[in-house]
Amino acid sequence: MICEIVPESGWLRVSVGPGLADEVQECYRSAAMECLRGHCARVLVVGLATFDPTVHLAGRDALRSLALAGVPDDFRLAVVALSENLVGIYDDAVLEADRLGLEARRFGTQAEAERWLAG
């Protein structure tokens, strides 16, 4: 299981998956807590699923928790699906972010996501 939560210059970078459901869920929870502790305004999530992409729905749940706890007005979430089976899951998270009043987008590459986060 890969779960890397690394503060980058200007955002929090989260690499998650592949892994078992409880591992992936814990990674998203840990990322949300790190973001809340650090008052981050930018988050980049790079996800990979090799078997069951629905375990990544935990990212949407973590996003809801962030919205309830409060994020900076200029908060941005960029998600990058490294496996095709995650695209729909991440698109759902982007829609949920919009419902919560948060700015989020899915990107095809990490470089595109980083350019948007930097803007």
**Is there a domain that residue 109 lies in?**
yes
Domain range for residue 54? Answer: 3-113
What pLDDT does 62 receive?
A: 92
How far does the chain reach from its first CA to its final CA, in angstroms? 31
| Confidence check: pLDDT of 15 > 90 | yes
Mean of the per-residue pLDDT values for the chain?
94
**Is there a domain that residue 119 lies in?**
no
What pLDDT does 19 receive?
A: 93
Burial of 59 (0-12, 13-18, 19+ CB in 10 A): buried
Question: Running DSSP on this structure, what letter comes out for residue 64?
Answer: H
pLDDT digits (tens, 9 = 90+) for 28-71: 999 999 999 988 999 999 999 998 999 999 998 899 999 999 89
**Is there a domain that residue 48 lies in?**
yes
Beta bridge partners of residue 3, listed in sequence order: 16
**Is there a domain that residue 118 lies in?**
no
| Mean pLDDT within 12-39 | 94
**Is there a domain that residue 107 lies in?**
yes
**Is there a domain that residue 59 lies in?**
yes
User: How many domains does the chain fold into?
Assistant: 1
Identify the CATH number of the domain in which residue 78 sits: 3.30.750
| Confidence check: pLDDT of 119 > 90 | no
What pLDDT does 38 receive?
A: 84
Q: Which pTM was predicted?
A: 0.95
109-113, long-range: CB < 8 A, 24+ apart: 109/80, 110/44, 110/46, 110/80, 113/44, 113/78, 113/79, 113/80
**Is there a domain that residue 101 lies in?**
yes
What pLDDT does 117 receive?
A: 97
**Is there a domain that residue 49 lies in?**
yes
| Confidence check: pLDDT of 1 > 90 | no
73 by DSSP, 3-state: which? coil
Please report how many Cα atoms fall inside a 13 Å half-sphere around the Cα of residue 79, on the Cβ side. Answer: 28
- Say how far apart CA 47 and CA 70 lie, in whole Å: 24
